[in-house]
Structure formats: structure tokens, C-alpha cells
């Protein structure tokens, strides 16, 4: 084991994939010579060469379109979109082409593209560098959507994503790129896609969160525990396909459920989670399912702290759910 932060774990996974598979190719803006805005690809161009770690023009549609073509010709491209907010020029390529190739070809063209992109607020980036667009892509059949919350999961899930026959959108929570630190296995290992992680077990309320919100929920759970309220925390890790069985088991055991995410409340993935939990756990619920989310506004510059879920907002939700 070695101790890494989350961005170092991503870099480690990319190095392992490049070393193990000659058909893995990285491409994106500033990922080569500069090593990426967040340094996720630092040193890889020097180690593996400019034909496998490719600096591209500033064109998200071009990056995704090129990656689709590479995959159809037998490569395993891993494009980086510098911020998830910039992904929309490539949206048509992703939802109308990439997500459909395996289905429309009867499995003949699996198109294994893993799109890496940083998501979320917490870095004072404002409304063009802070969005959480997971719901757009979870809504797209054919895409796998992944969001790790720890360095170990970042490495293991990224390696599993690159080797998946399905296209994957790999969302990296940038506010914890350097804040999340933990032990990571050395060498090659995978965390299976589609399996949730039980972060903490408790008997009173289940918190469901992903990305940077997991550590927020851990802090909230630790703060309320001395009062006698114990929280279970579930990190889906793979947002789609979802491990609903692990979630339903946890909610059925506690009878209470709170969903925490950064994206706006209306039609956020929390709404789908609430529906799924209600369908499976209705007879076990002791209180309405609650959501702690971003607000239905563009992400603000100066009021970022008021927009993002906070420990205090999570604690308010826990107390209201317990008191219902």
C-alpha cells in the first residue's frame, strides 16, 4: 500500500493502464506537456510518449469525436474534458453516438471510451467551473457513470472503467483532489463497477452521497453520534448502473433516508434515487425521504458556501427526519 491523494491515484491508474495495454491512449487539452490543469496526467507524456498522451486543440467536440473514432478502430481512448462544464459541445457525440454504438451494432462495436472530467464546486470557480452534470448522462441509456470519493476507489474504478466494454463517464470530484488522502494498493487492481460501498453503519438514518459529499456526510455523522443518533452512509460509486440492492437494504434497516448531492434539486439524480427507494422500501419508511442539494440557480461565485450542501444542512435534515 502507498498513501496517495485522489489526483495522484488517478495518475497512478492511468500509468498502470498505459503500461498494461498498448491500445490505451490519453487525449485532451494540456494533458501532455503541461500535465493537466489539476496535474492528473503529470509525467505520463515523458514516460509513454506524445503518441499515447496527446495534447489536443481546444475543442471538446473534436476530443470526443476523435475518441469515438479511435475506439471503433480498436483503441481504448481515455479523453479528458478539462472541466465538466465544458463537456456540452461534445454532448451530441456522447449521447447520440458513443452511448448507442454497442446497442445498434448488436455488440460488434463496443466503443470503449472512458471520459474523465472534474466535477463539482468548492474551488471558487463560479458558474462555468463548478457544475455537477451527472443527471444528464445517467438519463442516457448505454452510458456507465462513475464518481469516486476516495483515492482507492478512484484508482480501482478508473482501471475497471478503462477495461469495460461500455463507454464510461468518469466524474472526478475536484474539491477533494488533494483533500482526500488514503492508502491505495500498488500496481494493478480494480474496484468492480456497479457495487456500492458501505462507508459507515448505523441504525437510525441512511445517508446516500457520492463524490465530495461523502466526506461531508461522514463529518455530519461524527458530529451527531454523541447525541445517540447513528448514521449509515452509502456511497454508490457507480451512479449508473446503480447498486440499488445495497441502498434498499440500508434504508430498510434504518427506516429513514436522506440523499445528498451538489447538483440542483429539481430533476437531480437524488429525485430518481428517492423514487427507487420509495418503490422498494415504502413499508419500512418511518419518515419522508429528504434531499439536501444545490439550489435551482446557476452556480454562484460569491455565495458558493450558501449554494453547496453543508454539514449544518445535513444535520438539520437528520434531526428533522429523526423527529418526524
pTM of the predicted model as reported, rounded to 2 decimal places = 0.97
Quick check: 319 and 288 in contact, CB under 8 A? no
Quick check: 162 and 17 in contact, CB under 8 A? yes
Determine the Cα–Cα distance for residues 320 and 324; give it in Å rounded to an integer: 6
pLDDT, one tens digit per residue, over 243-302 is 999 999 999 999 999 999 999 999 999 999 999 999 999 999 999 999 999 999 999 988
pLDDT, one tens digit per residue, over 35-51 is 999 999 999 999 999 99
Determine the Cα–Cα distance for residues 47 and 57; give it in Å rounded to an integer: 22
Let me know if domain 197-323 sits in CATH 3.40.50.920.
Answer: yes
Question: What cell does 42 get?
Answer: 503529470
Q: Where are the domains of the chain?
A: 2-184, 197-323
Residue range 2-184, CATH number: 3.40.50.970
Determine the Cα–Cα distance for residues 116 and 40; give it in Å rounded to an integer: 10
Specify burial of residue 58 (Cβ count, 10 A radius: 0-12, 13-18, 19+): exposed
Identical fold, 2-184 and 197-323: yes
Task: Determine the pLDDT at residue 123.
Answer: 86
Apex 146 CA angle, 141 and 149, nearest 5: 155
Apex 236 CA angle, 179 and 136, nearest 5: 90
Place of cell 466524474: 171
Strand pairing report for 290-294 and 257-264? parallel
Residues with catalytic function: 129
Determine the Cα–Cα distance for residues 260 and 309; give it in Å rounded to an integer: 7
pLDDT confidence tier of residue 14, bands split at 50, 70 and 90:
very high
Query: Mean pLDDT throughout 76-87?
Result: 97
Q: Which of 321, 276, 294 is nearest to 122 (CA)?
A: 294
pLDDT, one tens digit per residue, over 102-129 is 999 999 999 999 999 999 998 888 889 9
Quick check: 296 and 265 in contact, CB under 8 A? yes
Q: Which of 71, 141, 151 is nearest to 112 (CA)?
A: 71
Per-residue DSSP letter, 298: P
φ and ψ of 281, to 5 deg? -125, 15
- Per DSSP, helices labelled H in the chain are 6-20, 44-48, 60-72, 91-92, 101-104, 134-138, 151-162, 213-224, 244-254, 269-281, 304-307, 311-323
Please tell me which residue, 196 or 122, carries the higher pLDDT value: 196
Within 8 A by CB and 6+ apart from 156, the residues are 13, 185, 189, 190, 191
Amino acid at each position: 500500500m502507498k498513501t496517495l491523494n485522489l489526483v495522484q491515484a488517478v495518475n497512478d491508474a492511468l500509468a498502470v493502464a498505459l503500461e498494461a495495454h498498448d491500445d490505451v491512449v490519453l487525449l485532451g487539452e494540456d494533458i501532455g506537456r503541461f500535465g493537466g490543469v489539476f496535474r492528473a496526467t503529470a509525467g505520463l507524456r515523458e514516460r509513454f510518449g506524445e503518441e499515447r498522451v496527446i495534447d489536443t486543440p481546444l475543442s471538446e467536440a473534436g476530443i470526443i469525436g476523435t475518441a469515438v473514432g479511435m475506439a471503433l478502430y480498436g483503441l481504448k481512448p481515455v479523453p479528458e474534458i478539462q472541466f465538466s462544464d465544458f463537456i456540452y459541445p461534445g454532448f451530441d457525440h456522447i449521447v447520440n453516438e458513443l452511448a448507442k454504438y454497442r446497442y445498434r451494432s448488436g455488440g460488434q462495436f463496443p466503443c470503449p471510451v472512458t471520459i474523465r472530467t472534474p466535477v463539482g464546486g468548492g474551488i471558487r470557480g463560479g458558474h462555468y467551473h463548478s457544475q455537477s452534470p451527472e443527471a444528464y448522462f445517467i438519463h442516457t441509456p448505454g452510458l456507465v457513470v462513475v464518481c469516486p470519493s476516495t483515492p482507492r476507489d478512484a484508482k480501482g474504478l478508473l482501471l475497471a472503467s478503462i477495461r469495460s466494454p461500455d463507454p464510461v463517464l468518469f466524474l472526478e470530484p475536484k474539491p477533494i483532489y488533494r483533500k482526500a488522502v488514503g492508502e491505495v494498493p500498488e500496481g494493478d487492481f480494480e474496484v468492480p463497477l456497479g457495487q456500492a460501498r458501505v462507508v459507515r453503519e448505523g441504525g437510525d438514518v441512511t445517508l446516500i452521497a457520492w463524490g465530495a459529499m461523502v466526506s461531508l456526510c461522514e463529518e455530519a455523522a461524527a458530529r451527531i453520534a454523541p447525541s445517540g443518533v447513528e448514521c449509515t452512509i452509502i456511497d454508490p460509486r457507480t451512479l449508473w448502473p446503480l447498486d440499488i440492492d445495497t441502498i434498499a437494504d440500508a434504508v430498510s434497516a434504518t427506516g429513514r433516508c436522506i440523499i445528498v448531492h451538489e447538483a440542483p434539486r429539481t430533476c437531480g439524480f437524488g429525485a430518481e434515487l428517492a423514487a427507487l427507494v420509495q418503490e422498494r422500501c415504502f413499508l419500512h419508511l418511518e419518515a419522508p425521504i429528504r434531499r439536501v442539494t444545490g439550489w435551482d440557480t446557476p452556480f454562484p461565485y460569491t455565495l458558493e458556501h450558501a449554494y453547496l450542501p453543508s454539514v449544518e444542512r445535513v444535520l438539520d435534515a437528520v434531526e428533522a427526519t429523526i423527529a418526524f
